[in-house]
Amino acid sequence: MAALILPNGPKLESYTLTGTPLPQGARPAWNRIAYAATHVVADPLAECDPWLDTEVDWDTTMKFRHHLWDLGFGIAEAMDTAQRGMGMDWNASLELITRAQREADTRPGAVIACGVGTDHLQAGANVTIDDVIAAYEMQMEAVEKAGARIILMASRALVVAAKSPDDYARVYARVLSQVKQPVILHWLGEMFDPALTGYWGHGDHMAAMDVCLGILQNNAAKVDGIKISLLSKEKEIAMRRRLPAGVAMYTGDDFNYAELIAGDEHGYSDALLGIFDAIAPVASSALSSLATGDIATFHSVLEPTVALSRHIFKAPTRFYKTGVVFMSYLNGLQDHFTMIGGQESTRSLQHLAELFRLADKARCLQNPDLATERMRRLLAVQGVG
């Protein structure tokens, strides 16, 4: 087995890999809907200011989407995982959406849904509720023109403009009344984006949940489902059991997804997860086992990935994209570890070394020899080895 020297606290220790990649067999029809929120691949050769400019390697970015479609996943495009609001502005995001939808159109049965928000609108005291509505409408029109389904993202500007929960109800009712087909709503918690603290008009999540459920009830015909990203299985289950008929719960809980997808006697969650970007082959195998009723294999395959996911998404959670892109680099899905906005610098070498160990234990390194060599390269740049 491959081995290398890794930092472990203040010491350097030898680590021998033990994980073996899972074989990928024929995939049965899944009994869960599973979207992977996907990252973008930066262009490392572009002449630019890396912290300020957005230079995307479009060919590799699109190739990665095909990799996920091949494994059975739907694509959740231009979301937080794609550094929306952290390097990817609205104009870059619209180009991403347009290109990804064009790729999806080449594949019969390919599933894709794309983020609509208000991120071109600068949040501030002068922004009104009507401004927020107009911003949503502008992006919604552009995404529908591209032929894409909509994921209705949370709005930083709405947090600032809203004076009460009624303002949230007004915005969502107006926007949802105009969509051409049912959308997925996204409640992104403040651990992912501190600017969304107090969404739905309440700092308390359970009070906020009541407001959100009221909006869902009043607009159920326009809503396919809701993705909540609060990193609390208890809150997700509580909300799941109160959803209107026909409205799905898409787990966004990167800490507890295995048990939430498996479900209980009262129901289950479908999935829309950033971690699927990083663990797609393993998650695909697990979902295939679940579809055949083999719940034991589902858990035995997927549960080891939870420790990896909790590490990637540890606080500050908004920096999780660094771990997702690092996994893509380790697995040979891109040739470099460079990110839009220089975000590769947001995690320490210690963090990435532990990520490597956990990925190995979870069987998420698809080519252990390649992953080891790439980890050695990073260590050498950092003066280790």
pLDDT digits (tens, 9 = 90+) for 51-77: 888 899 999 999 999 999 999 999 999
Q: Which residues contact 292 (CB under 8 A, 6 or more apart)?
A: 28
- The alpha carbon torsion through 273, 246, 199, 237 (nearest 10 deg) reads -60
User: Roughly what angle, to the nearest 10 degrees, separates helices 58-70 and 90-104?
Assistant: 50
* Angle subtended at Cα 238 by Cα 232 and Cα 239, rounded to the nearest 5 degrees: 95
Contact at 8 Å (CB) between 153 and 186? yes
Indicate the pairing of strand 11-16 with strand 34-37.
unpaired
2, 17 Cβ separation under 8 angstroms: yes
Q: With a cut of 90, say whether residue 220 has pLDDT above it.
A: yes
Looking at the predicted structure, is the pLDDT value of residue 150 above 90?
A: yes
Per the CB < 8 A criterion, the answer to whether 117 and 71 are in contact is: no
Q: What is the pLDDT of residues 236-268, one digit of tens each?
A: 999 999 999 999 999 999 999 999 999 999 999
Provide the pLDDT for residue 36: 98
pLDDT at 28 over 90: no
- Ordered DSSP codes for 187-211: EE-TTT-GGGTTGGG-SSHHHHHHH
pLDDT in tens, 316-329: 999 999 999 999 99
- In the three-class reduction of DSSP (H, G, I as helix; E, B as strand; rest coil), residue 299 is classed as helix
pLDDT > 90 fraction of the chain, expressed in percent and rounded: 92
Rounded Cα–Cα distance for residues 77 and 73 (Å): 12
Q: At what angle do helices 295-312 and 320-330 cross, to 10 degrees?
A: 120
Compute CA distances 75 → 62, 82, 127, whole Å: 11, 11, 32
Look at residue 57 in the predicted model and tell me its pLDDT: 97
Per the listing, tokens 């997804």 go with 257
Give the rounded distance of the alpha carbon of 53 from its chain centre.
Answer: 22
pLDDT classification of 78: cutoffs 50, 70, 90: very high
320 near 276, Cβ under 8 Å? no
Looking at residue 190, what DSSP letter applies?
Answer: T
Rg (CA), the chain: 20
168, containing H or E segment: helix 165-176
Q: Which residues pair with 273 in a beta bridge?
A: 36
Q: Which of 12-21, 25-34, 146-155 has the lowest mean pLDDT?
A: 25-34
pLDDT band at 141 (very low <50, low <70, confident <90, very high): very high
pLDDT band at 104 (very low <50, low <70, confident <90, very high): very high
pLDDT of residue 23: 85
Q: Quick one: which of 292, 229, 227, 290 has its CA closest to 258?
A: 290
16, burial (CB in 10 Å: exposed 0-12, middle 13-18, buried 19+):
exposed
Nearest to 40 by CA among 100, 105, 103, 101: 100
